[in-house]
Structure 1
Amino acid sequence: MKIATFNVNSIKARKELIIRWLNEKVSIDVLCFQELKCTDENFPYEDFENLGYKCEVFGQKAYNGVAICSKFPFEEVQKGFGDEKMDREKRFIRAKINGINILNIYAPHGEIEGVKHEYKLRFFEYLGNYIKNNFSLEKDMVCVAGDMNVARDDIDVWEPELLRGTIGFMDDEREAFEKFLSIGLVDLYRKFHPNSHGFTWWDYRNAAVWRDEGMRIDYILASPPLSKLCKKIEVDMWTRRRRSPTPSDHAPVIVHFETE
């Protein structure tokens, strides 16, 4: 079972690219998309149905938005946390597929300080509590995928001293994310690639992707029982190194679980 997380930076702008990627490059069972920038009704359901997917969408006009598209049946679907304040921005969707609880996350980008920064820190605390209150990570198959907008360590950014203290690499952001991980989640990319940076985002400017000036801010995390079934995880650069169709500034991360 292959699961991919991909911040598409507008599903409308990236639709042609994604369809080409799926037709020409990879076979994915479950797609977790972030930053749709469209409402539920404007999501291109038919295009994905033609590829064999059913999609569940929690969208928002012009901003945010998350979706899960699956070739397997949905056993359960939850759109949003069920908390009015936390769901004002559409950043969370959960589905149970083949016995795996898949949580698709688009964490806030935040800012250096102020309300948006505090919201970002609170988001990770809220998400951690949600998981602890709804699952047993020692027993349940839980996969948390998405754009977390935080780089964990120096290896996860192209120039640590230059970027230290900037959005996505501030000490309190990283501490909040590490506290979230400490509930019992395994960072699968780092488990399989302890010495590879695995960047997933590059600025559009200054040919950053070609200069390898990126950050690892997109993750696939797993509960220990699911982590044991992970056979492979990689960053797929095919979509990012496109000149046409125009790429997202993120690259997808793909994980392969051996579930049978």
Structure 2
Amino acid sequence: MKIATFNVNGINGRLALLLRWLAEAQPDVVCLQELKAPQEKFPERAINAAGYGAIWHGQKSWNGVAILARDAEPIETTRGLSGEPDDTHSRYIEAAVNGVLIGCMYVPNGNPAPGPKFDYKLRWYDRLSQRAAELLATGAPIVLAGDYNVMPTDLDVYKPERWVDDALFRPEVRQAFATLVAQGWTDAIRHLHPDEKIYTFWDYFRNAWGRNAGLRLDHLLLSPSIADRLSSADVDRHVRGWDHASDHAPAWIVLD
């Protein structure tokens, strides 16, 4: 089973790019972030025509997450995270696909930090950790995939000294991610590539793509019941070089 995560940065504006990548990579499951489309504007017909069933949690202009399944219909289990009733952001959706529980997320950016947006990000991580612990307790095979908006270590960021005060790299956020992983999750890409500089995001500014000045923001975490099935993991970084590309590239794993 090939499972991917891709911050598409506007699903309707980049639909042709998404469909091109789906046809090329043929993932079995895809978690999408930053749909930037209200619920009724999700391009369901085009996604279905490409061979994928889908569930999605849309929001006008911002956020939005979706789970696609090739030749299957994702069975939704959860929409949104509990713990903050006034939170209306479309950032989390969860579904069962072919015996694996998939959690798809778009963690808040948190900038400027410190400030209310940063505080919201830390609370969101706390709520995610609570849900993750509940999922682990089931013993089910689980993959939590998405844009976590954190570079966990210096290895995950080009010139880390330039990011010390950014909400993507502040110690509080890295600690929140580390606390989550310490529940028993396996960071799939880092597990198979422990010493490599692997990036999933390159800014549109300052020729970041041309200089390979990237960040690793997109992660796939595996529960203990599925981690030993991990056979490969990588990033389709060439997609970032396509015309009208997202600033993220798809990251993926293969489970035997």
TM-score interval w.r.t. the shorter chain? over 0.9
SS at match of 1:205: coil
Q: Match for residue 148 of structure 1? A: 148
Q: Is 2:183 the partner of 1:168?
A: no
Q: 5 Å matches for 1:164-243?
A: 164-242=164-242
Moved more, 163-172 or 114-123: 163-172
CA distance in 2, matches of 1:221, 1:86: 27
Q: Match for residue 118 of structure 2? A: 117
Percent sequence identity is 37
User: Once the 2 structures are TM-superposed, how far is the Cα of residue 22 of structure 1 from its aligned partner?
Assistant: 2.0
Q: Match for residue 60 of structure 1? A: 59
Render the CA deviation track for 1:12-59: whole Å, top value 9, x for unaligned: 111011111222x21111111000001111000011101111110100
SS at match of 2:241: coil
The number of equivalent residue pairs is: 254
Partners of 1:5 and 1:145 within 8 A in 2: yes
Q: Match for residue 255 of structure 2? A: 257
SS at match of 2:237: coil
Q: Match for residue 47 of structure 2? A: 48
SS at match of 2:238: coil
SS at match of 1:231: strand
Distance 1:140 1:41, change over 3 A: same
User: Once the 2 structures are TM-superposed, how far is the Cα of residue 87 of structure 1 from its aligned partner?
Assistant: 4.3
Partners of 1:75 and 1:98 within 8 A in 2: no
CA distance in 1, matches of 2:129, 2:167: 21
TM-score (norm 1): 0.94
CA distance in 2, matches of 1:87, 1:46: 29
Q: Match for residue 17 of structure 2? A: 17
Render the CA deviation track for 1:81-114: whole Å, top value 9, x for unaligned: 3556364101000001111110001000002111
Render the CA deviation track for 1:193-214: whole Å, top value 9, x for unaligned: 0011211111101221121101
CA distance in 1, matches of 2:254, 2:190: 15
SS at match of 1:57: strand
Q: Is 2:102 the partner of 1:102?
A: yes
SS at match of 1:101: strand
Q: Which amino acid aligns with 1:128?
A: S
CA distance in 1, matches of 2:84, 2:172: 26
Partners of 2:136 and 2:223 within 8 A in 1: no
Task: Compute the RMSD of aligned alpha carbons.
Answer: 1.4
Q: Which amino acid aligns with 1:63?
A: W
Stretches of 4+ moved more than 4 A in 1? Answer: none
SS at match of 1:13: coil
CA distance in 1, matches of 2:75, 2:60: 27
Partners of 1:76 and 1:97 within 8 A in 2: no
CA distance in 1, matches of 2:213, 2:86: 33
Moved more, 128-137 or 4-13: 128-137
Partners of 2:55 and 2:76 within 8 A in 1: no
Could you list the runs of 5+ residues in structure 1 that have no partner in the other structure?
none
User: Once the 2 structures are TM-superposed, how far is the Cα of residue 77 of structure 1 from its aligned partner?
Assistant: 3.3
CA distance in 1, matches of 2:56, 2:163: 34
Render the CA deviation track for 1:153-182: whole Å, top value 9, x for unaligned: 010001011222223111111111111111
SS at match of 1:206: coil
